[in-house]
A and B are shown apart, each in its own frame.
Chain A
Amino acid sequence: MFITYQQTSEQSYLLNYGEDINIITNKKVISHFNYLIKNKFKYIFNVVPSFNKLLIEFDINFKKDVEILIQKLKLIDENDEVKSIQHLISVCYDEEYALDYKNVENAFSIDFDEFINLHSSSILNVFMIGFMPGLPFLGLLNINQSLPRLENPRISIPAGSVGVVDKLSVIYPNQSSGGWNLVGKTTFNLFNKNSNTTILNPGDTVKFHNISKKDFIKNEK
């Protein structure tokens, strides 16, 4: 259940489900997201989940309907089964791609091999997709130390790069600028341009699989 909600423009509400980044809160967000997507309300333009919030963008002529819908959401059982698929994603953690491995070692006080172990043995939750088409926000890594974004974000990060900040991980679907610490690279395709679909969806899980540079290069072809 969301705790509060506020109107953030003439045609949007932002529902708040809690302050922290955690899986329980996110599951509540995702269950309401799935409900709204499934029902295809004609007066809703966009429904966008994030860690702890849900944006509903609507046709202003139907504001009353949206208000009723939000009240109704309160009654919708958030324990509804969220359909979840586990994806296995091969990552090459070679230094050529793990450009920020030193930041990781310093911030987490472990050597990079231990980090690879941790990163590739965790089952990570897909919290949301966004920022750019197909980019998944994944977590949580079992780490308590903080690893901030780069002070000077890179102007260009190659597509497929895997980044880490604190307990979270992302994969850049396309070449982009960005400030996440790079720890590896994958050939996994995140976004299907022809059908406008993402392979990962909020509520899914991801397990990374450590592969050698030789295998990675083979996959790239």
Chain B
Amino acid sequence: MKNESKIEFLRGGLITSLQGSKINNLQHLGITTSGPMDYFLSKIGNLIMDNNEDDLTFEICKFGPKIKILEGNFIFLVSGNINFNIITNSNTQLGKCFKSYILKKGDILELNQTINSNYAYLIFKGKLNTDISSNYKSSIISSSLGINDGKKISDSDKFKILKIPNFKDRFLSISLSNFYDNKIRVIKGPQMNYFKISIIKKFFSKKFKISKNLNRVGIRLIENPIKPTVSSNLPSEAIIKGSIQVPGDGNPIVLASEHPTIGGYPKIATILISELYKLVQLEEGAKISFEEVDINLGEKLYFDFLETIKSIQNKIVYL
């Protein structure tokens, strides 16, 4: 079996981009960390395929791409909840998520709408040519930086995949739906004291709605305004993924993968790493609530999260 292949995107999809590991050590230059929005799914998908958990994936947002195999074999798995078809010799077969497939020259993979979610991940075996030539391991679409020059995948983009290893088909034997819910755990943010006690109570007791303003930069929450009292502006400071910043109108913004590196709004809370992936999958109109934990529990939950990801490996069934 030839260990190289070539694929063409007949259709790029809504916002399909290359996402792998976080970009580190550049935030002081104004370069954000980027990386997959639902890092739980990208890690799980990679582990099922025996990749490193932060290997490069195609992140699909809402509506996926259509890919034709031009040369060689394309070995893939879809991590997420999305409709897709596999078209071979004009035979169309419905695809299953969390199950590996091997496509041959001329076959087509058609990824359509995500189901009850925003993001899905196309995981593949082998090394992408762009990966080998780039220092970055993720795209930053908002600043046209990173792998693939930060460009989202466009119609007729072609990629070569090298070093494809031998492979045994497999699938994941459990559903991941238990790892998702609408209760999001947070720790205190650096400016929680900018808010009145009654407002903080409101933050934790009432539900927020996910607005239509959601993308890789941030997610705007509405219908439970929590105005800061002290001042809606502070000297701009470094900000991080998962931070919940509150502009003057009181509608919070959750900072996501491509957040600006510096910001001047007060931050009431920080969403735990073990929780943020749940929130980014919630669609416009979904309701969420926040629950406070202390940092010690937050750290424990982080290590539990890593364990959970690793334990999924025991649920892989080989064919």
B197 within 8 A of A: no
**Which residue from chain A places its CB closest to the CB of B149 in the assembled complex?**
A193
Chain-B contact segment, one of A43-51, A74-82, A111-119: A43-51
Q: Which residues of A contact B240 (CB under 8 A)?
A: 8-9, 12, 55, 57
**Which residue from chain B places its CB closest to the CB of A19 in the assembled complex?**
B235
Interface size on A, residues (CB 8 A): 44
Q: Identify which of B238, B272, B273, B299 gathers the most chain A CB atoms within 10 Å of its CB.
A: B238
Determine the distance from Cα of A57 to Cα of B28 in the docked complex, in whole angstroms. 11
Given A50-B237, A128-B262, A131-B260, also A196-B28 (CB < 8 A): no
Determine the distance from Cα of A219 to Cα of B247 in the docked complex, in whole angstroms. 39
B237 A53 Cβ-Cβ under 8 A: yes
Interface size on B, residues (CB 8 A): 36
A10 B273 Cβ-Cβ under 8 A: yes
- Find residues 125-139 in chain B having any chain A CB closer than 8 Å to their own CB: 135
What's the minimum C-beta distance from B303 to chain A, rounded to whole angstroms?
Answer: 8
What's the minimum C-beta distance from A151 to chain B, rounded to whole angstroms?
Answer: 11
Chain-B contact segment, one of A64-72, A92-100, A133-141, A205-213: A133-141
A133 B298 Cβ-Cβ under 8 A: no
Determine the distance from Cα of A51 to Cα of B31 in the docked complex, in whole angstroms. 18
> Digit string of B192-214 for contact with A (CB within 8 Å is 1, else 0)?
00000000000000000000000
* CB contact between B236 and one of A33, A137, A193, A197 (< 8 Å): that residue: A137
Q: Which residues of A contact B25 (CB under 8 A)?
A: 45-46
B27 within 8 A of A: yes
Q: Which residues of A contact B261 (CB under 8 A)?
A: 48, 130-132
B143 A8 Cβ-Cβ under 8 A: no
Given A10-B273, A128-B262, also A51-B145 (CB < 8 A): no
Q: Which residues of A contact B24 (CB under 8 A)?
A: 45-46
B225 within 8 A of A: no
A20 within 8 A of B: yes
Q: Which residues of B contact A46 (CB under 8 A)?
A: 24-28, 33
Determine the distance from Cα of A131 to Cα of B25 in the docked complex, in whole angstroms. 15
Q: A196-B29, A198-B30 are in contact. List 18 more A-B contacts (CB 8 A).
A: A8-B187, A8-B240, A9-B272, A10-B273, A45-B24, A46-B24, A48-B261, A48-B262, A55-B238, A57-B27, A60-B303, A128-B262, A129-B30, A131-B260, A132-B260, A133-B143, A137-B262, A173-B30
What 6 pairs across the A-B complex have the smallest Cβ distances?
A130-B262, A48-B238, A55-B238, A130-B261, A50-B237, A133-B30
